Chain A
Amino acid sequence: MSNKIEVRDFDFYYGDFQALKGLNLDIRANAITALIGPSGCGKSTFLRCLNRMNDTIRGTRAEGEVRFDGANIYAPDVDVVELRQQIGMVFQRPNPFPQSIYDNVAFGPRVVGMAKRSDELDHIVAESLQGAALWDEVKHRLRDPALELNPGQQQRLCIARTIAVKPEVILMDEPCSALDPVATLSVEDLMRRLSEQYTIVIVTHNMQQAARASDYTGFFWLGELVEFNATESLFSAPKMPLTEAYITGRRG
């Protein structure tokens, strides 16, 4: 399997505060990579570095390289808007726009200019909602406000909104933390199916989720990547004592 993203000697700063230190890791194409670690260790920061969402925060600075399909996304000539079409993001709290279900999914294709005719747009919307396992629940009420959906549906709507622009990578920052167990399982199922087409990176606080839903796992601690391995190996035979202490502590 090939590497979709390669991170090399990557540092990241909020002003003077160094949030990420000397990261090196490879993210495999069409796999699910989970990032775990205690609160404040830099998981979200790292995730947001992968599609340069941190550019929107003033006073931040990145050093080192993040190569996406071999090209450094922090090179000066990179078009950030285009990059984010290729590397989409789903957030911790479902954040559908206060618009209709249809308009939420159509947002991306519209701003990107993907659909020239309205039936093309209809097609993309339907396809994306099917892809996010939401179509059957909403196909009769596409014009209803998205905020009327329950949180689990809202999160799947956000996933549909993300895949509507046909990205290659989907970043998810604790996508299930605001959801109940049933909704969580349905999002995990969905991730598994999406990984056939997309490369997925997910941040999670939930060890079971990382263990059952991911192929690779990285353990962060105070801005450093302590261990990175295939999920099975990392959970059954962690190499570093810190990793072992964390996963057993969190399991217990």
Chain B
Amino acid sequence: MSSEQTLSADVVIVGSGVAGSSIANELARAGISVIVLEAGPRVDRQHFVDNFRNLENKPSYQGPFPAVPWARHPPNQMTPNEYLHTTGPNAEAYQQVYLRMMGGTTWHWAGCAWRYLPSDFELKTRYGQGRDWALKYDDLEPFYYQAEVMMGVCGPDPAKEDLGSPRKQPYPMDALPISYAAQQFRKLIQEKTPYRVVHEPQARNTRPYDNRPTCEGHNNCMPICPIGAMYNGGYSVYHAEAAGAKFIPNAVVYKIERDSANKHVTAVHYMDPDKGSHRVTGKYFVIAAHCIETAKLLLVSADEQSPNGVANSSGHVGRNMMDHTGVQVTFISGDKALWPGRGPLETNVIDNFRDGDWRSERGAYLVHMVDDNQVDLATQLAISKGYVGKELEEQIRYLAAHTVRLFSHNEALPDPENRLTLSKTNKDILGIPHPEVFYKLPDYTVKSCEHTRGLFKDLMGLMHGTDAQWTPGYFPQDHPSGSTIMGTDPKDSVVDGFCRTHDHENLFIASSSVFSTVGTGNITLTVAALALRVADTLKKELAHA
């Protein structure tokens, strides 16, 4: 079964997450016709809020977001996983989660919106490690700002708190005032260590912005902000649709068709949930399907012309998988009550280890003191310790007021052996193979994590902490990147500095999959900035066409 009429647009985008929908919005506003094909369904916030409230295991961020069978996503961060299969020495450290539905994974992100440091783009030149990107910080600076305006990012005044990424304009919104718990943590770090705690830049409203309300401190940014005070890709979808972009839900792209010279993409094909196949033609194509699914789609599209997959003459599609695999510890502070969990989840960061000469030896990292409501955890802990009645209630209050959670983002390096392939044994209901990832933590990252463990032990000591619960092994941070790596040499990279594939002149990729290295800050602001730069390139080229 296939559709009678062929769909067509100037630009066809695969994926409606931040990357795809922000490009769609920019192009549609410039009068360019756009079709966005989204594998998952249309969804709405209130159902996710209801699902969250009905969820027994509240820390399960995937819990409120069941997948549809034709666009599956990982059900949880467990190994083995029913969808994202991981193997290798650090299989469990690569249990990334993401969402496949209109608006994408930022339905349950935390809104942390870091710019990378200038050095993050030049790791090879400065420290002899990894690779350089095929662009510099200054190339991206205007698009970082555009992304911050699009999302509504609040952050500190650089004159007072310089985060190391030079800015031409102030943040669109003032920094978020940090919670009492974070204030106490900041004071401790300032007084007792050589380090500092900074205000985290966040896509969270500190005043009404883009017709969305000011943050009310529901402490549920992950998995679902109940009021939309935090940006997510859904808002760029609304804006893009209002500007005339056409979004087609439940459209699972499975094939990228090229001309006989294999230089030009002519169409993409998608399946609907009934396996009906549809062809969509266009002048330009952008794959914005998230790091894992983007590489998977290029590999699935292998045919006689490109037996190793589309855009894969280098053989690097699916290789160089990275993340911010980190360390996590939860403990009970022996100091005064903090009551974490009043206000947003992630607001403050120790940023001293984001850069330094030691980066020639070990990876950089940053530390979050997670401001998470600990009442439920405290209750479970107190019951398991054997308390009942009045004593139980005292314990719950004490533990909820004194539980501290620290976690880190540690820098990975691109290693071609860390590789995504198509599962040979598992397919979804449309017959598309599941993704499989082999992962071995780079020594660079292991050394970085060891350094972090040392720091966490020191901090625990300073807070007179007890009952430490270390998350076993390493902690996946859901920042997968590198699977269609950027570079200047078509022999060892997939896209150029403009995110255009070396192999196909009208095929672009907008995703963390293009990252050449992964730095320390959460990845999405950089994804959005790169995507907006793709939109800029397309606008210019279509204007000249």
Chain A complexes with chain B: no
